[in-house]
Structures are given as structure tokens and as C-alpha cells.
A and B are shown apart, each in its own frame.
Chain A
Amino acid sequence: MSTPLLSAKNLRAFYGPTQILYDLNFDMHTGGITTLLGANGAGKTTTLRALSAMVRTSGEIRFDGKLISNKETADIVRLGVAHVPEGRGTFVRQTVEENLQLGGITQPASQISADVERVFTYFPRLKERFRQQAGTLSGGEQQMLAIGRALMLRPKVMLLDEPSFGLAPLIVQEMFEILRTLNKKEKVSMFLVEQNASLALELADHAYLLETGRVVMSGPAKQLSADESIRRAYLGY
């Protein structure tokens, strides 16, 4: 097997003195979609924040074989890790245009306008709102903007934190279709944190189940969705 794109070994994370994650181990491979399932407070968001060095951690995180757990957030991002954060992280005072430009701020200026056009092919709504202050967008539009902003980085991997949060079911469907397309056409690997387990397992090829900061189960997504206990606890049928 080839080296994993992103891997964690004995990953622990802390908020102040409180430990949130306990010796997490996981790998994800290039081109795949890995999902991290778990209840509220299981440590899903913290895992993503640990990957982009936004919390105090110990243990090893490797990206493309390189050790990144000692790097700063901005430097990890520059390697091609696009983190779409919880709450979408919109630059509310800036326009939609500026938000997209910020997404590509580490990229050569020459490619920006072409990349903006590329984002529009996936999210035509953003084109209509181009000059609008981003804070005035609806929740769904802000989520699109967040993913569009991440795309501007030309990322190797996207870390997606609950992209379905607070959105109407129809929009969620649409969003997940787009994610699937992005994965296929743009060759973006994805690390997806979701509360909506059935959606996530449908999209992902590999899944990890997190409970109170520990990985309690992992395997191919199909296998997990077939599992009796997962079905009862997380899928609800």
C-alpha cells in the first residue's frame, strides 16, 4: 500500500488542562472520502482542529509523509489542507468576491480569476451574490462560499466540519452531490465530520466512529452502515 495522505498516530488534544482526544490513530488515502462519526461532544470538531494545529496536541500527524504536527496553522494550510470550519468561518465584513480571493491568497495571483470562475461552475449562486457583503448571505449560501473558499486553495485535502449543519434537507442533498463531484472531478480528498451519519456513510468510503475522544470502531463505510449497533445508535432504524 502507498503511504497514506493524512495519518494520525497517538493523537491527543487538549483545551487548557482538559484532554479531549485520547490516542487517536487513523489513516486516509489519496482520493478517498473518510468520515468521522460520533455524537455531540465526542471530539469530532476537535479532531479537525487538531489536524490544522488550532488546539494543543501531542502525538504525530503526517501529511503526504511529512510531519506537520509541529507546524503552525497557516503553514499547514499552505501545504494544501483546506479546513472548512464549524460555523463556516465567513469573513462577514468582506464581499463574496473578497472571500474567494482570500481563499486563494496563498496562490499565485495569476490563477485567481480562473479559479473564481471554476468555483462559480459548482456554485452559480455565488456569482449572483458576487459583490454582496458575505455576512448577508443565507446559511446555505455561506456554506457554499466556505467550500468555494476552500477550493480556491487548490487543496489536496478538505477538512469539512458538519457541512449539513443548520441547512434545509434539500440544500443538504445538493451540497453532498457537489462534494461527491468535487471529489471525483477535482481529485480532492475529503475528511468529513458529520452528525448526519446516514448521509456521511453514503458519501464516504471509509469511516471512523468516535466516542468520548476515542476511536471505537473503524472500517469501510459499507461495513459500518451494515453494523447492527451503528444502525441503532446513529442511523436510527
Chain B
Amino acid sequence: MEQVVQQIIGGLATGAIYACIALSIVMIYQAIDHLNFAQGEMAMFSTYIAWQLMQWGAPYWGAFFITIAISFVLGYVIERTVFKPVHNAPVLSHIVIFIALFAIINSMAGFIWEFTIKPFPTPFGTKSVLGEGLLSAHGAGMIAVTGVMLGMLYLFFRYTRVGLAMRAASANPDSARLVGIRVGFMNALGWGMAAAIGAVAGMMIAPVVFLEPNMMVTILLYGFAGAVVGGLTSPGGAVFGGFAVGVIENLASFVPHFGAEMKLSIALALIILVLTLKPSGLFGRRIVSRV
């Protein structure tokens, strides 16, 4: 029993990572009605920016917030330059663009910072805060940061006019234009925000998995799984989904033959299971409409 509890808490700590990424996936999905396969790479690149800033002597939190700002601008610029010209192209073209972005960002990081692993600091320390090695300070900090971010997003989308305009622009672009919303600008804003959230996720994850150009590939899959479990239309659901995936993944270690190498298959199975049984996810909103 004690073992089970231990695994659950450990799962929550890794789940916080997935929750972060799931949140940024849902964000961009809400902003542009798309899943961005380059999302993880953008987060990775942002983390390198933070690392570079600290190499140049910036204090952690200074680097943290500057990185968020830079990432926002980068996300915005990528939308305006790369994505905008093909905005009306079919989904297949979009996926190719995401693949291209993936390749470009991944290789640029390797080009600038090499493919070797770099340690990344945590602002929270690594001491245990709960029992014997159950939850590290960094794990707790990560959960807290995710919570704060989620709260801020909720307030932004629920109570600000820009948030409302962004939701409207993604749900119904034509109608949004007809009430005077500049839809293209909103899309770019969505990319910017998603990049900023991704940057936070990357900086939170890097101390755990170390910094290298491929650090996000598998984590992105868990993030997807979390987003799908929670529902792609629900930021809160995505966070829950992220934590759930972390816990389930840890608990699966009790199943015989399920070594560490099978963990990704759990994410796969979860995605397919949820998409098949309840495509809108546990908390996703079903869209009711009359014709």
C-alpha cells in the first residue's frame, strides 16, 4: 500500500511536467484550432535561451521572465512569417509546416548550442519536502507554477476582453471578423502565448531531464496524452490529464513485464482509448448547436 502511495506521489511530480506541456498544447489548440507538433521544440529552444542568459550572468528569475518575453515574441513572429501565408491551406500542408518547424528549431538548437547534454538549474532546490524522497522541492515548485499559470489563464480567458476575442476568433473566425476582431492578430497572439507557456514548461522540465535538443520529443507525447485525456478544449482538463498520465504511468510499473521501456506505449494506449471512447476527453466541452 505504502508503495502505491509512493508511486502516486512520484507520478504527480512527473505529471506536473506533462500538465505544463498539455496546458500549452490546449492553449494553442484554442487559439488556432490546431495541434502544433513543433510545440515541444519551441519550448526546448526557449529553455536554451534561458540557459544562455544565465551563462551570460543573468540571475535565475531575471532569465526566467526575459525568456518568457522573448518566447512570446518568437511565437508571434513565427505565426506571422511562417504560418500566416498558409493559413487557409489544407490540414496536410499545416502538418508539413509543423514538421518543417520541428526540424528547423531542433537543428538550430543543435547548431547554436551543440547536441551535448547540459545541466539546468532549479530555483526550488532538490531537497525532499514530503517524506523520504517522495516529492522534491523542485517537484512541488513545478506543481505550484503549473497551478499559478492555469489560474492566470483562466482569469485571462474568462474575464478579459482580449481573452474573449481570442476564443471567438478561434471558434468562429468569420463571425469574429464581422464584430471587428482582427483574427490574424489574435492567431499570432495565441502562438505567442503558447510559446510563452511552453517556455515555462521547458524551464521547469529541464532540471529533471537535462537540457538537450531532443529533450521534448517523448515528453510532448505525454503532453498530448494529457491534453487528450482532459479534453483539448479544456485548460483545466489538460492539467488534470497531465497529472493523471503521470500517475497512471507510474502505477503501470506494478504490471509484470512493463519495464520502463514500455512507458510510451501507455501514453499511446491512453490516447487511442480516450479518443475512441470519449473523443472530447473527460472535461472537454461538447458543442451543442441547432441547425
Contacts and interface: CB of A to CB of B under 8 A. Distances in A.
B288 A89 contact: no
Contacts of B289: 92, 135-136
A105 B287 contact: no
A52 B164 contact: no
A184 interface: no
A44 interface: no
Given A54-B174, A85-B178, A149-B179, A92 B164 contact: no
Given A105-B164, A109-B161, A139-B290, A93 B285 contact: yes
Given A85-B174, A89-B172, A94-B167, A105 B290 contact: no
Interface in A126-155: 133, 135-139, 142, 149, 153
Contacts of B175: 85, 89-91
Contacts of A74: 177, 180-183
B165 A102 contact: yes
B196 interface: no
B161 to A, nearest CB: 6
Contacts of B171: 91-94
Interface string A78-118: 10001101000111111000100111011001000000000
A178 interface: no
B180 A92 contact: no
Most chain B CB inside 10 Å of its own CB: which residue of A78, A92, A136 = A92
B285 A136 contact: no
Contacts of B19: none
Contacts of B288: 92, 133, 135-136
Contact of A73 (B161, B165, B172, B178): B178
A235 interface: no
B177 A77 contact: yes
A190 B179 CA distance: 17
B271 interface: no
B179 A103 contact: yes
A21 to B, nearest CB: 19
A105 B285 contact: no
**Residue of B161, B171, B175 contacting most chain A CB atoms (<10 Å):** B175
Contacts of A136: 288-290
Contacts of B167: 93-94
Which of B176, B183, B285 has the largest count of A CB atoms less than 10 A from its CB?
Answer: B176
Contact of B161 (A92, A94, A105): A105
Interface string B255-291: 0000000000000000000000000000001011110
B169 to A, nearest CB: 10
A218 to B, nearest CB: 27
A94 B183 CA distance: 17
Interface in B158-174: 161, 164-165, 167-168, 171-172, 174
B289 to A, nearest CB: 4
B180 A105 contact: yes
A91 B176 CA distance: 8
Most buried by A among B176, B179, B181: B179
Nearest to A138: B290
Most chain-B CB neighbours within 10 Å: which of A74, A83, A101? A74
A102 B164 contact: yes
A91 B177 contact: no
Contact of B180 (A77, A90, A109): A77
A101 B183 contact: no
A98 B171 CA distance: 13
14 contacts: A52-B178, A72-B182, A85-B178, A91-B171, A92-B172, A94-B164, A94-B167, A98-B164, A105-B168, A105-B180, A135-B288, A142-B290, A149-B179, A153-B179
Interface of B: 161, 164-165, 167-168, 171-172, 174-183, 285, 287-290
Interface of A: 52, 54, 72-74, 77-78, 82-83, 85, 89-94, 98, 101-103, 105-106, 109, 133, 135-139, 142, 149, 153
8 interchain residue pairs of minimum CB distance: A89-B175, A135-B289, A106-B180, A77-B180, A73-B177, A92-B289, A74-B182, A83-B178
Given A72-B182, A102-B164, A133-B288, 6 more contacts: A54-B177, A74-B177, A74-B180, A92-B172, A93-B167, A102-B165
